[in-house]
């Protein structure tokens, strides 16, 4: 089994930055894909960014709405994935969820919730105008 726990959410003004962390535990050696999704009340949970890796190869994918502003990275030694969010906008306000998958996807990153098996509880990000 795999567990993931998010942290780093909070309140920030528009134009500011936040860094979210997602710490994995359990069968961390089996994790090959991790992603960030976000959800606001009454809306579907949407893909934000993801990364898939195997050996020396890795691929990332970003939602159009965050490309150029958000960056995903990982620290293997800490079994942690980070989401650096810059130039935040009020429309980025949401609960952010981290998700993990034990499968590696060659050349692509899955952007559908159904492809991810392990989910965190979410962390709130609020961007004030």
Smallest Cα–Cα separation from 99: which of 52, 43, 29, 40?
52
Structure confidence at residue 42 (pLDDT): 95
Report the chain (129 residues): mean pLDDT per 10 consecutive residues: 95 98 89 96 97 91 98 93 98 98 90 96 97
**Whether the Cβ atoms of residue 62 and residue 100 lie closer than 8 Å to each other:** no
Structure confidence at residue 128 (pLDDT): 98
Structure confidence at residue 116 (pLDDT): 96
Both tokens assigned to 68: 């150029």
Structure confidence at residue 106 (pLDDT): 86
Gap between the Cα atoms of 60 and 1, Å rounded: 24
Gap between the Cα atoms of 57 and 43, Å rounded: 34
Structure confidence at residue 107 (pLDDT): 84
Smallest Cα–Cα separation from 38: which of 61, 15, 63, 2?
63
Structure confidence at residue 29 (pLDDT): 80
């Amino acid at each position: 089994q795999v567990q993931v726990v998010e942290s780093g959410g909070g309140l920030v003004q528009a134009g500011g930055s936040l860094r979210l962390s997602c710490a994995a535990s359990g069968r961390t050696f089996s994790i090959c894909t991790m992603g960030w999704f976000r959800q606001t009340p009454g809306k579907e949970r949407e893909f934000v960014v993801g990364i898939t890796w195997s050996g020396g190869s890795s691929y990332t994918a970003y939602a159009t709405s965050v490309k150029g502003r958000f960056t995903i990275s990982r620290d293997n030694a800490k079994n942690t994935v980070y989401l650096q969010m810059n130039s935040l906008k009020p429309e980025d306000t949401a609960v952010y969820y981290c998700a993990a998958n034990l499968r590696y996807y060659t050349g692509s990153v899955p952007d559908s919730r159904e492809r991810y098996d392990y989910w965190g509880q979410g962390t709130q990000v609020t961007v004030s105008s």
